[in-house]
Amino acid sequence: MFAGFEKMLKGDPSEKTKRRYQARVDAVNALGARTKALSDDELRAKTEEFRERLRRGESEDDLLVEAFAVVREAADRVLGLRPFDVQLIGGMILHEGQIAEMRTGEGKTLVSALPAYLNALSGKGVHVVTV
């Protein structure tokens, strides 16, 4: 009973999280058709383009939307799995260095590929642990 009352007063935390990231999710979705139209070689070339942009001073945050769109398309082509919007949000949370709790079967490994790719672009390496 009190949990429902608390939600009514404070709002659903998952809805607050969704609203916080929705603009970037929408931006990733907006790139979907353009990214899908890329050939495999053009999609692969995005990695070097992103690395060059980082060398010129852009940040990982500046590249997040485009990088997530590229990973989403690559996952769809290679694995036949297209990350859902909520998985994009999970990737954004991980990119920020926060912990994203997910249940079994919700796609932790797929989610982790999004920020792992983005953060590996700098060449510093990335460690991913899922349980």
Mean pLDDT over the full length of the chain: 90
Residues 6+ apart with CB under 8 A from 119: 60, 95, 126
Q: What is the domain extent for residue 72?
A: 12-120
Which of 101, 68, 108, 14 lies closest to 76 in space, CA to CA? 68
20-53, pLDDT tens digit by residue? Answer: 999 999 999 999 999 999 999 999 999 999 999 9
Does any domain span residue 37?
yes
- As for how many domains the chain has, the answer is 1
Residue 11 pLDDT exceeds 70: no
Q: What is the CATH number of the domain that holds 49?
A: 3.40.50.300
Does any domain span residue 102?
yes
Percent of the chain exceeding pLDDT 70 equals 91
